[in-house]
Amino acid sequence: MDNFAVILLLALVLDWFLGEPQVIWSRIPHPVVLFGNAVSLADKALNLVTDAPAIQRRKGAVAICLLLVVALFAAVLTEWALGFLGSLSWVFECLIVFVLLAQRSLFDHVKAVSDGLRRSGIEGGREAVGLIVGRDPELLNETGICRASIETLAENFSDGVVAPVFWFGVFGLPGLFIYKMINTADSMIAYRSEKYLHFGRVTAQIDDLANWLPARLSFGIIAVGAIFVGGIRSTKNSVSVVLRDAGLHRSPNAGWPEAAMAGAMDIALGGPREYAHETVSQAFINGSGKHDLSAKDIETSLGFFRAACFVLWGLVLLIVLVN
């Protein structure tokens, strides 16, 4: 665990300051792109709309199992290759973990929404938010754009930061690779659309299991981080809203970080919304909080996100010091 903790801490710092260097990813494919290619291949090979629902479910289960085997094989092969690097192996392992974290890219993508709103109004905000959410941006007003951005920031703090850190800390590269494959597959084939309703069901269930504990850890980290932005009152409200409203979200996990952020900022998140594949009717999380949101609220949420990331760094550093 001590070696994992050192690698994690360095990877978190690198990710925060370097993000996703386009000079690299414009020349070689990002690992998540490769995971996505594998998911697309399994989808094309096994997902036939002519199959009965029960067959689609079975084929979907086979698909995700094969994808997890591929991820495990890739991790074992990577660890085997790192073994030839001797004392430098930890450096390259750190770089691998760094590229599979999403602190800086998430921060930058959400900040682009507030920048778009300030620079070009509704149209600028819709263009930027359309890159990070599944709902139809043309149906969003300013509040809807801001709410979607803040919800994405909170949920992906769990999915894109805490969960990868957790699974690497527990199982090393195999845990990290398998989690990223699950998360990638969930984002591609677990929609509640006609094409994926049955085929992606097992993938969605596995993703729920993989994110169950990280989502709840994320709530705690956001609540602690809120002290440094909004004071103890913000933290107390974050905890209170989570305990009351986390279960209002249709996801068993997303409600935890979203409720934590809603409570910390005292804003209303959730509510009814339109996706490309469905209309979701959902109660507001922290419905008594502020409803009319603006670019300033997105920028405030980024402050809470930054604080939560630094709390996570502190936890990993504590593990390093204890060991």
| CA 53-56-57 angle, 5° bins | 90
Residues contacting residue 285 through CB under 8 Å, at least 6 positions apart? 241, 245, 246, 248, 249, 255, 258, 259, 262, 268, 269, 270
Provide mean pLDDT across the span 181-201. 93
Number of domains in the chain: 1
pLDDT tens digits along 203-225? 999 999 999 999 999 999 999 99
The residue segments making up the domain with residue 105 are 2-322
Residue 108 reports pLDDT greater than 60: yes
Distances (CA, A) of 198 to 54, 62, 119, 190, 274: 8, 13, 42, 9, 21
Provide mean pLDDT across the span 105-122. 96
pLDDT attached to residue 1: 46
> In which element (H, E) is residue 125 found?
helix 103-129
pLDDT tens digits along 249-299? 989 999 999 999 999 999 999 988 766 566 677 899 999 999 999 999 999
Provide mean pLDDT across the span 140-166. 96
The answer to whether the Cα torsion of 260, 167, 185, 15 is positive or negative is: positive
pLDDT attached to residue 44: 96
For residues 282 and 145, give the distance between their C-alpha atoms in angstroms, rounded to a whole number: 17
pLDDT attached to residue 275: 66
The better pLDDT of the pair 159, 323 is held by 159
Provide mean pLDDT across the span 238-249. 96
For residues 137 and 144, give the distance between their C-alpha atoms in angstroms, rounded to a whole number: 9
pLDDT tens digits along 9-22? 999 999 999 988 87
**Binning pLDDT at 50, 70 and 90, where does residue 193 land?**
confident
For residues 300 and 304, give the distance between their C-alpha atoms in angstroms, rounded to a whole number: 7
pLDDT attached to residue 307: 98
**Binning pLDDT at 50, 70 and 90, where does residue 323 land?**
confident
> In which element (H, E) is residue 127 found?
helix 103-129
The better pLDDT of the pair 279, 30 is held by 30
Residue 200 reports pLDDT greater than 60: yes
Reference 161, options 2, 3, 307; nearest CA is: 307
pLDDT tens digits along 74-98? 999 999 999 999 989 999 999 999 9
The better pLDDT of the pair 134, 172 is held by 172
pLDDT attached to residue 2: 54
Q: How many beta carbons lie within 10 A of that of residue 279, not counting itself?
A: 9
Distances (CA, A) of 211 to 81, 89, 199, 250, 273: 29, 29, 20, 14, 23
The better pLDDT of the pair 259, 193 is held by 259
Residue 127 reports pLDDT greater than 50: yes
pTM for the structure as a whole: 0.94
Percent of the chain scored above 90 by pLDDT?
Answer: 85
pLDDT tens digits along 53-66? 999 999 999 999 99
Which stretches does DSSP call E strand in the chain?
269-270, 273-274, 279-280, 284-285
pLDDT attached to residue 22: 78
